[in-house]
């Protein structure tokens, strides 16, 4: 009888623990990602224009960028040290966490603007409406400063963690990159 009571109590504790595991894991992930809001914003809107929106971004893209900071393939004075404190499993969880959030609502201003010269090549990876897909991130609605910074970094060879982007960006003139960044930022 006592053995049965102990087994029942143990089973109840085990079931209760398993039932709380996802909530605890989610809480743990929320704690691990709390620092991200200092730059990327508490509600998905970054605190400055050079920081990208990560809420609602493609999970695979987020993971790749986090992995590249972790491995040293990509460097940023703030991101690299932060990301190196996580293991790869955490990075996948963080990428999924932000991908599951909604892209921040913004007022679109580009609906009447014609697409700038050179932007057609972007659609192959970033999608017809530049909202991303399996191979590439959403770029519609990112800030002009972030977009032009990323585009120029690829064009100048400072950012090399993508095999295709440097060639695409070098093929565009500076004024074309600026026009594309303005157009995308307004979407």
Q: Which residue has the higher pLDDT, 112 or 103?
A: 103
* Residue 108 clears pLDDT 70, i.e. is over it: no
Residue with tokens 């609605």, as numbered in its chain: 141
Comparison of pLDDT for 136 and 14, the residue scoring more: 136
Cβ 98 vs Cβ 42: under 8 Å: no
Q: Which of 24-28, 53-57, 94-98, 167-171 has the lowest mean pLDDT?
A: 24-28
At 110, the pLDDT band (50, 70, 90 cuts) reads low
Crossing angle between the packed helical segments 144-155 and 174-185, to the nearest 10 degrees: 150
| Residue 181 predicted with pLDDT over 50 | yes
pLDDT for 15-60, tens place per residue? 333 334 445 556 688 898 999 999 999 999 999 999 999 999 999 9
User: Could you tell me what percent of the chain has a pLDDT over 70?
Assistant: 82
* Whether the Cβ atoms of residue 152 and residue 88 lie closer than 8 Å to each other: no
d(CA 45, CA 47) in angstroms, rounded, equals 7
Mean pLDDT (the chain, rounded): 86
CATH architecture, range 37-185: Orthogonal Bundle (1.10)
The pLDDT, as a whole number, for residue 105 is: 87
pLDDT for 113 beyond 90: no
Cα dihedral value 99, 129, 164, 167, nearest 10: -140
What is the SS3 assignment for the chain? CHHHHHHHHHHHHHHHHHHHHHHHHHHHHHHHHHHHHHHHCCCCCCCCCCCCCCCCCCHHHHHHHHHHHHHCCCCCCCHHHHHCCCCHHHHHHHHHHHHCCCCCCCCCCCCCCCCCCCHHHHHHHHCCCCCCECCECCCCCCCHHHHHHHHHHHHCCCCCCCCCHHHHHHHCCHHHHHHHHHHHHCC
Instruction: Give the predicted TM-score (pTM) of the model.
Output: 0.83
- Domain residue spans in the chain? 37-185
């Amino acid at each position: 009888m006592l053995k049965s009571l102990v087994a029942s109590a143990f089973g109840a504790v085990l079931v209760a623990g398993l039932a709380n595991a996802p909530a605890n894991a989610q809480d743990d992930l929320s704690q691990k990602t709390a620092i991200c809001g200092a730059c990327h914003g508490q509600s998905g809107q970054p605190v400055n224009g050079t920081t990208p929106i990560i809420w609602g971004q493609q999970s695979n893209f987020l993971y790749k960028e986090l992995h590249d900071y972790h491995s040293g393939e990509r460097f940023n004075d703030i991101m690299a040290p932060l990301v190196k404190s996580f293991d790869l499993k955490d990075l996948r969880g963080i990428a999924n966490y932000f991908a599951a959030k909604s892209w921040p609502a913004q007022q679109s201003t580009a609906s009447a603007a014609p697409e700038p010269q050179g932007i057609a090549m972007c659609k192959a990876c970033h999608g017809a409406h530049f909202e991303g897909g399996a191979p590439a991130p959403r770029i519609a609605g990112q800030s002009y400063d972030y977009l032009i910074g990323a585009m120029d970094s690829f064009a100048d060879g400072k950012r090399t963690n993508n095999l295709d982007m440097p060639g695409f960006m070098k093929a565009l003139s500076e004024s074309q990159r600026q026009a594309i960044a303005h157009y995308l930022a307004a979407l």
